[in-house]
């Protein structure tokens, strides 16, 4: 058993090195070094792949399977991860894996050009071939809990998730959000956003990043705020969890919220328990749970009125004089303005999940053969009209806006909706034990973070999301909390 643990620790060391090099590549590394960096990254990825699919690994898996019941949670978690990565990778014939990699690389390139030319017909045959080949890959694999083939993809991106679970989840959201948006649209409430674009130079925004991240408890002695094209969080281990942001001089709130978002990810990983810190299990357990922490710090805390009451006085000492007239209420309102839009990545907290629903519903149809590729734009537009009241004028504003499908990432989108739902569910339980609003207003984030640490952070990836929910809350993902949260928040904000 120690040999198995050592072997996993070896993989962990490689993963940590790749994380450090990845961050370096995004933030510091010179442009000229791109090709050699790609070569190095490829080398280390292959090293990890080889370890994950080696005969040695197969030997460990076979032996441990016979005694798994008697093992502790750590061995069980390592075993599950090792088994998943082994069988996901080993079962599909190498020539299909290679063909798929080649196809998606080509397809990604075609998508980029076709999007620019607003030409769906050019991209469509690639999309068709990707799905065909992906279906062929799925023939070699069985759904984890005996469901449909699309379940396999859903489970690949988020352990334990199935069409059954997502169907119920999204149904609840749609029931609430679609009518709520209509009410918000009809509301007479006017939100003043005139101050949002006042110029704030980058050095000042850097100061704000440091102020805001310290305020909510991101430990900079084990962290770093870098700058990169895409905001992200990189955790090598709990003692080195870094984030990036980007600055827009005429939209300081954009970086403020991206810092809060990434700090949520980072605080999760900084709080790994002693039994797993620095190990293979030290990171977060899933994309959905990880995103719940970033949403909690960005939205639940950061977009609350109480938070703006807390930080406005100190923030104004840093901000230029043009903000002198802005009250906490004004910041709060401007940060929460809701408007249906066509582009997912620009959507607000209320409308965001509908963008995800649409993609999920389409993927489900595609993987059960219920629609033709050629009909996709029409289906897409109809759903946007129905859920958000908008019709994309171009494919680039519609079906071709996201990179995911061009790369064959099916089953990925639904996880984007999990974060805010989990965050609202955690808030619901937290409120039973403490006055969260009062703690935010006082700036007492230690109590909030300690609660999250005990329930979620300290477990790292020791438990799958479903097991974590069971152990810490005695229940599973429940969209009704998020529905209620949105209803409360937007009714109050828009005086519905």
Task: Using CB under 8 A, list all residues that contact a copy of itself.
Answer: 13, 16-17, 20-21, 23-24, 27-37, 39-40, 43-44, 219-224, 226, 236-237, 239-240, 242, 278
> Smaller CB distance to a copy of itself: residue 214 or 492?
214
CB 362 within 8 A of CB 379: yes
> Smaller CB distance to a copy of itself: residue 235 or 302?
235
Say how many CA atoms lie within 13 Å of 413 toward its Cβ.
Answer: 26
Contacts for 355 with CB less than 8 Å, ≥ 6 apart: 344, 347, 388
Shortest distance in whole angstroms from residue 244 CB to a copy of itself: 12
Strand partners, 237: 240
Shortest distance in whole angstroms from residue 442 CB to a copy of itself: 27
CB 258 within 8 A of CB 226: no
Quick one: how far is CA 395 from the chain centroid?
25
Q: What's the order of all strands across the beta sheet hosting 240-245?
A: 223-227, 240-245, 232-237
Tokens of 49: 């792949």
Shortest distance in whole angstroms from residue 284 CB to a copy of itself: 17
Shortest distance in whole angstroms from residue 224 CB to a copy of itself: 6
Tokens of 8: 């996993």
The span from the CA of 204 to the CA of 201, in Å, is: 6
> Smaller CB distance to a copy of itself: residue 24 or 275?
24
The SS3 call for residue 235 is strand
The span from the CA of 226 to the CA of 96, in Å, is: 39
Q: In terms of Cα–Cα distance, which of 90, 88, 105, 235 is closest to 157?
A: 88
Rg (CA), the chain: 23
Contacts for 247 with CB less than 8 Å, ≥ 6 apart: 202, 205, 206, 227, 255
Shortest distance in whole angstroms from residue 246 CB to a copy of itself: 18
Distances (CA, A) of 230 to 64, 92, 370, 401: 41, 33, 36, 17
The span from the CA of 24 to the CA of 142, in Å, is: 38
**210 a catalytic residue:** no
CB 161 within 8 A of CB 154: yes
> Smaller CB distance to a copy of itself: residue 6 or 55?
6
> Smaller CB distance to a copy of itself: residue 31 or 433?
31
> Smaller CB distance to a copy of itself: residue 18 or 165?
18
Tokens of 479: 């969209």
From the candidates 262, 269, 309, 361, which is the catalytic residue?
262
Shortest distance in whole angstroms from residue 236 CB to a copy of itself: 7
Shortest distance in whole angstroms from residue 48 CB to a copy of itself: 13
Placement of tokens 């909030």 in the chain = 448
> Smaller CB distance to a copy of itself: residue 36 or 394?
36
Catalytic residues, by residue number, are 262
């Amino acid at each position: 058993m120690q040999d198995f643990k050592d072997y996993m620790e070896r993989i962990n060391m490689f993963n940590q090195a790749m994380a450090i090099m990845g961050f370096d590549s995004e933030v510091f590394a010179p442009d000229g070094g791109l090709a050699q960096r790609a070569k190095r990254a490829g080398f280390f990825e292959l090293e990890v792949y080889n370890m994950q699919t080696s005969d040695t690994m197969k030997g460990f898996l076979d032996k441990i399977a016979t005694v798994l019941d008697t093992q502790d949670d750590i061995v069980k978690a390592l075993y599950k991860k090792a088994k998943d990565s082994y069988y996901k990778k080993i079962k599909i014939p190498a020539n299909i894996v290679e063909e798929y990699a080649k196809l998606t690389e080509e397809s990604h390139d075609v998508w980029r050009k076709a999007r620019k030319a607003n030409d769906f017909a050019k991209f469509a045959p690639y999309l068709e071939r990707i799905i065909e080949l992906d279906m062929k890959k799925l023939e070699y694999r069985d759904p984890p809990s005996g469901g449909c083939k699309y379940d396999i993809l859903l489970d690949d991106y988020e352990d334990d998730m199935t069409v059954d679970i997502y169907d119920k989840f999204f149904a609840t959201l749609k029931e609430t959000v679609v009518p709520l948006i209509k009410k918000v649209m009809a509301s007479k409430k006017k939100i003043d956003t005139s101050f949002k674009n006042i110029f704030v130079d980058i050095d000042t925004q850097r100061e704000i990043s440091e102020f805001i991240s310290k305020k909510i408890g991101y430990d900079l002695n084990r962290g770093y705020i870098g700058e990169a094209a895409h905001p992200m969080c990189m955790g090598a281990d709990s003692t080195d969890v870094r984030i990036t942001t980007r600055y827009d001089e005429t939209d300081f709130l954009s970086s403020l919220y991206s810092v809060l978002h990434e700090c949520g990810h980072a605080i999760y990983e900084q709080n790994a328990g002693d039994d797993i810190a620095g190990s293979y299990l030290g990171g977060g357990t899933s994309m959905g749970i990880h995103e719940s922490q970033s949403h909690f710090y960005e939205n639940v805390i950061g977009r609350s009125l109480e938070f703006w009451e807390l930080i406005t006085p100190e923030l104004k000492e840093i901000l230029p004089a043009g903000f002198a007239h802005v009250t906490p209420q004004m910041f709060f309102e401007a940060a929460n303005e809701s408007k249906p839009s066509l582009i997912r990545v620009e959507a607000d907290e209320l409308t965001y999940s509908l963008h995800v629903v649409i993609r999920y519903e389409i993927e489900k149809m595609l993987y059960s053969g219920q629609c033709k590729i050629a009909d996709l734009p029409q289906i897409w537009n109809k759903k946007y009209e129905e859920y958000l009241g908008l019709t994309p004028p171009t494919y680039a504003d519609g079906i071709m806006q996201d990179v995911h499908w061009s790369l064959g990432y099916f089953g990925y989108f639904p996880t984007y909706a999990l974060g805010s739902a989990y965050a609202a569910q955690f808030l619901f339980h937290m409120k039973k034990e403490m006055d969260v609003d009062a703690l935010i207003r006082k700036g007492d984030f230690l109590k909030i973070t300690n609660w999250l640490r005990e329930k979620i952070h300290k477990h790292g990836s020791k438990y799958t999301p479903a097991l974590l929910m069971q152990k810490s809350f005695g229940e599973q993902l429940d969209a009704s909390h998020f529905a209620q949260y949105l209803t409360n928040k937007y009714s109050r904000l828009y005086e519905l």
